[in-house]
Amino acid sequence: MISAVNQISLLKPDDWHLHLRDGKILKGVLSYSTDVFSRAIIMPNLDPPITTLSRAKGYKERIVQSIPKGVSFTPLMTAYLTDEMSSDVLEIGFKEGIFYGAKLYPVNVTTNSSYGVTDLNKIDNIFETMERIGMPLLIHGEVSDANVDVFDREAVFIERHLDPLLRRFPSLKVVLEHITTIDAIDFVENSKATLAATITPHHLHINRNAMFLGGLRSDFYCLPTAKRETHRIALRKAATSGKPCFFLGTDSAPHTRQFKESSCGCAGIFNAPFALESYLKVFEEEKALDRFEAFASKNGPNFYGLPINDEYITLVKKDIEVPQILDVGLEGDPSDFVKPFHSGEILEWSVVRD
């Protein structure tokens, strides 16, 4: 990687955690990701969720049809685990290159998770199969127990569920997605190389105060929620450490204004439009620009056992203003628009597009 004060070139990155949705909005949000990422792990939490080979193939086809002409981008599909998921479907899907992983949403933990797993012990046959075939398990690591404080749900999940799971299946490959706490960082750093974690741009930039600044701000509401400042500082150190167990996963999760500006606003931050610029700001502030390529372009494929991209991307030091709001092609009024993360801010790095 060549890095100078005003310019940085790195192997083209991948996004290891992305929500693209379906239907009209898919086309409207996809180009922000295909613009800078070579591949992305596509989250399966549609309604109905991606629980079968044919649903995965159909969804992949709709994504591929929506990729702008002349752009190379590979969607890496995932299966949505339910209590009823068959291990044969996972095994066939993984071996045939339809699924690159399976996503575990504990039931009712986040957007479209009502079909999720009710009890991890009930699907040991699934974990056995995945461990045997080397299929990555991607985990939304929170408990949905209403008696557990919302800010403790990740730490409690690790203690109650993840630690016992890894003891039962010591060779299972696991990605703990969008980590938000020192507890998660410590757990991942002290585990075997079969456990890794993705880190989002928003959890590197905001702490939980952002949700309450002068009023209730659903734009900064996502799950897991941002935590205290001490956790944000630790996440910035972890992401910029260069350690192979941490890699890029935006968790970009678009919701239109009508679903954000509601008395029960949806969880999710749409960060795809300026994701690289956002991460790079953190790496520069942490004096770790030389470690950005490992985080963005190498650690992910190495963990998934996929080749590293051979194209390059360049960013230059040039101010860019993030729009307040983006029209994502729903042809409706502004209540159908989506607000990007950093909206209205000036970011200092820009992607060079030829």
CB of 251 to ligand DOR, least distance (A): 6
154 binding Zn ion? (CB under 5 A):
no
Nearer to ligand DOR, 177 or 277 (CB): 177
CB of 296 to ligand DOR, least distance (A): 21
Pairing label, strands 74-80, 39-42 = parallel
Tokens 């953190």, located at residue: 282
Nearer to Zn ion, 47 or 311 (CB): 47
Indicate which residue of 14, 15, 251, 336 is catalytic.
251
53 binding ligand DOR? (CB under 6 A):
no
Start-end of H helices in the chain: 24-34, 53-66, 87-95, 124-133, 153-157, 163-168, 182-189, 201-205, 229-239, 257-260, 275-285, 292-293, 299-304
**What are the helix and strand counts (H, E) for the chain?**
13, 12
Q: With CB cut-offs between 5 and 8 Å by kind, which of Zn ion, ligand DOR, none does residue 223 bind? A: ligand DOR
Nearer to ligand DOR, 67 or 267 (CB): 267
CB of 263 to ligand DOR, least distance (A): 18
Q: Which of 5, 15, 11 is nearest to 278 (CA)?
A: 15
Contact yes or no for 175/138 (Cβ under 8 A):
yes
50 binding ligand DOR? (CB under 6 A):
no
Nearer to ligand DOR, 140 or 298 (CB): 140
Q: With CB cut-offs between 5 and 8 Å by kind, which of ligand DOR, Zn ion, none does residue 268 bind? A: ligand DOR
CB of 105 to ligand DOR, least distance (A): 8
**Total residues interacting with ligand DOR, rule: CB under 6 A:** 10
CB of 222 to ligand DOR, least distance (A): 3
Q: With CB cut-offs between 5 and 8 Å by kind, which of Zn ion, ligand DOR, none does residue 271 bind? A: none
Residues numbered 101 to 120 that lie near ligand DOR (CB under 6 A) are 110-111
CB of 37 to ligand DOR, least distance (A): 18
56 binding ligand DOR? (CB under 6 A):
no
Tokens 């770790």, located at residue: 288
Q: In what order do the strands lie in the sheet with 74-80?
A: 15-18, 39-42, 74-80, 101-104, 137-139, 174-176, 195-199, 246-248
CA 276 – CA 65 distance, rounded (Å): 24
277 binding Zn ion? (CB under 5 A):
no
142 binding Zn ion? (CB under 5 A):
no
> For residue 107, what are the CA distances in angstroms to 111, 114, 210, 262?
10, 5, 27, 23
Candidates 28-36, 96-104, 199-207, 250-258; binding stretch for Zn ion (CB under 5 A): 250-258
191 binding ligand DOR? (CB under 6 A):
no
Maximal C-alpha separation, the chain: 53
280 binding ligand DOR? (CB under 6 A):
no
Select the residue interacting with ligand DOR from 17, 19, 173, 257 (CB under 6 A).
Answer: 19
Nearer to ligand DOR, 16 or 349 (CB): 16
Contact yes or no for 197/137 (Cβ under 8 A):
no
Pairing label, strands 39-42, 137-139 = unpaired
- Concerning whether 251 is annotated as a catalytic residue, the answer is yes
Pairing label, strands 101-104, 137-139 = parallel
CA 253 – CA 218 distance, rounded (Å): 13
253 binding ligand DOR? (CB under 6 A):
yes
239 binding ligand DOR? (CB under 6 A):
no
CA 45 – CA 13 distance, rounded (Å): 23
153 binding ligand DOR? (CB under 6 A):
no
Pairing label, strands 101-104, 39-42 = unpaired
- Give the active site residues: 251
Binding residues for Zn ion, per CB under 5 A?
Answer: 251
Binding residues for ligand DOR, per CB under 6 A?
Answer: 19, 45, 110-111, 140, 222-223, 253, 267-268
